[in-house]
Every structure is written in C-alpha cells, then in structure tokens.
Amino acid sequence: MFEGIVGHEKILRILKKTVANPAPGYGFYGPSGSGKRTIARAFIAKLIGTDVLHLDAHPDFIKLEREEGAREIKIKQTREAIGRLFLSSAAGGWKALLIDDAHRLNEESANALLKSVEEPSAKTISFFITDRPDRLPATLRSRLVMIPFGSAGFPGRIKARELDPDTFADREARARSLLQTVLNGPLGKGLGEIERLAKTASSSEDPERFWQAELDELARSSASILSSNPALYARFGRGISLAWSWIGSGLSPHLALEWALIEPYTKGDLSIPSFLQPSYL
C-alpha cells in the first residue's frame, strides 16, 4: 500500500490497521513537502482498489481544489464534489473525496462538507489536506481524525521524484543566507535579501505554498543562527509569525519581515504604517 515511502512509520502503522474500517473523515496536515498528499493518495488507492498511477482516472476518486486563479474553494465546486461522492460506487466499493488545500474552503463549502462527514453515506470517506489546519473551522476539525506531518513530527522522506521541485536544501540555503545577513547587517543588505525572496515567491508556481515552506524553514533555522542575539531572535520571530498569518491575505508576507528588521530604526522621522502598528505596539 505504501511502497516507496520511507518514514512516518507511526502514521503508516495506524493507517494499515484502519484500512478495513476507516473513519469517515481524515485531516492530514503539515508543511509543504512532508508527504501528506502522497500518503493520502496511497491510502485512497488501496481503499478503492486501484494503484496510485491510475488513481486520478478512477471514477470512485473525487478531487476538490481551487480553480486556477481563485482564492478559495467555492460552494458550487463543493456541492458538485459531494454529489459525486454520494453516487453509487462504480466498482461497488469505496468512494473517496480528497480536498487539497482544505484551508481554502469558504464558509459555505466548509459547512457543506461538515454535514457530509457527520452523516456519511455507506463506504464514503473524505481526506482534508492542508498546510494551515488552524484555518479549518473547529467544528469541522473536531469531526476528523487529525494526523500531523512535518514539523508536528519531523518530515518523513519520500522518493526524490515525489519531492517538490524546490528542495529542502534550496530552502535551507536561502534561509541561512537571509538570517546571517539579518544577524550581521548592514540593514540595507538585509532588506535586499528579503526583497529578493519576495520576487522569488512571486515568480514561483504557487506563491502561497512557497511562503509556507520558506517561513517554516526560516523559523527552524533562526533558532540556531539568531540565538546569539536574543532580542533580534525574538523580534524577527514575531515578524515570521506575522508573515505567516498574512499568507493568502492582501498583504505580502515579506512586509512583515522587513518591518521586523527595521523596527529599532523606526524613531524620529521614520514611522510604521498605521495598518502595521497594532502588530508592533
């Protein structure tokens, strides 16, 4: 069932034991590249009696995700997916719904899926895949078997071909370069590094996922690189946290990093924009 996947031994043991009698809904959460989608797809393939390579073409597999260019998963898409989920199985077995980037569900969509998890049809199962479990409604999370990946338990490894094109090593190198500049200065060079990071994000295939992975690595690396300067470590840590909360909003995460860096210099003629003040006062 999980051939080619190394790591996540505890999670794999649990799923292997429950494959004969799975829960109606699961929440797989963790940072980009941690293997949650790969394992969900392998589990679904086993349930509906196919292999991963042919999963997307199987009539009993439904995938729900944002339409290209949309900021959220809309209710029309969600109702169509739920309608398909509750049709009779083509193979006479399980039907499975995978919701990718589930934190992008709008309120109506989340409520509709809540009902399908609370009152599931026989042999239907839903998987909510997310990098941001905090954005799922608490009522929905409470009905799911929530399984952590990545920083909630260090990322397991999957085959190289299944990793994101932007590797862990690439992110680590960028994070260390930026943090060393933040630590040693000068200020202008640090701001330039952050601006370059923002340009890299905007040119990536999925800027939001890029920022999620990048900020996760910055938070991890800052513990060792900035620990010699506790005040800077605390201040930049607040900036990373604020930047994370801005992912998917109208504000670019790099602004939070920039203002965290220049905070000690915001006196006299310099001032923090009014929309940022509550975060720093």
Residues 60-81: tens digit of each pLDDT: 999 999 988 888 999 999 999 9
The one-letter code for the residue type at 71 is R
The predicted model gives 140-162 an average pLDDT of: 59
pLDDT tens-place string over residues 186-225: 888 888 889 988 888 888 777 887 888 888 888 878 888 8
The 10s digit of each residue's pLDDT in 3-21 is 556 566 778 887 888 888 8
What per-residue confidence (pLDDT) applies to 162?
34
User: What's the Cα-to-Cα distance from 59 to each of 54, 102, 119, rounded to whole Å?
Assistant: 10, 21, 22
pLDDT score for 135: 84
Q: How many degrees, rounded to 5, is the angle at CA 124 between CA 123 and CA 130?
A: 145
Q: Is the pTM of the predicted complex or chain greater than 0.85? A: no
pLDDT for residue 109 = 93
Domains of the chain: 5-162 (3.40.50.300), 168-265 (no CATH)
Rounded to whole angstroms, what are the CA distances from 28 to 11, 129, 146, 189?
10, 5, 6, 39
The overall average pLDDT reported for the chain is 80
User: What is the per-residue pLDDT across 220-240, written as a single tens digit (0 to 9) for each?
Assistant: 788 888 888 888 888 888 888
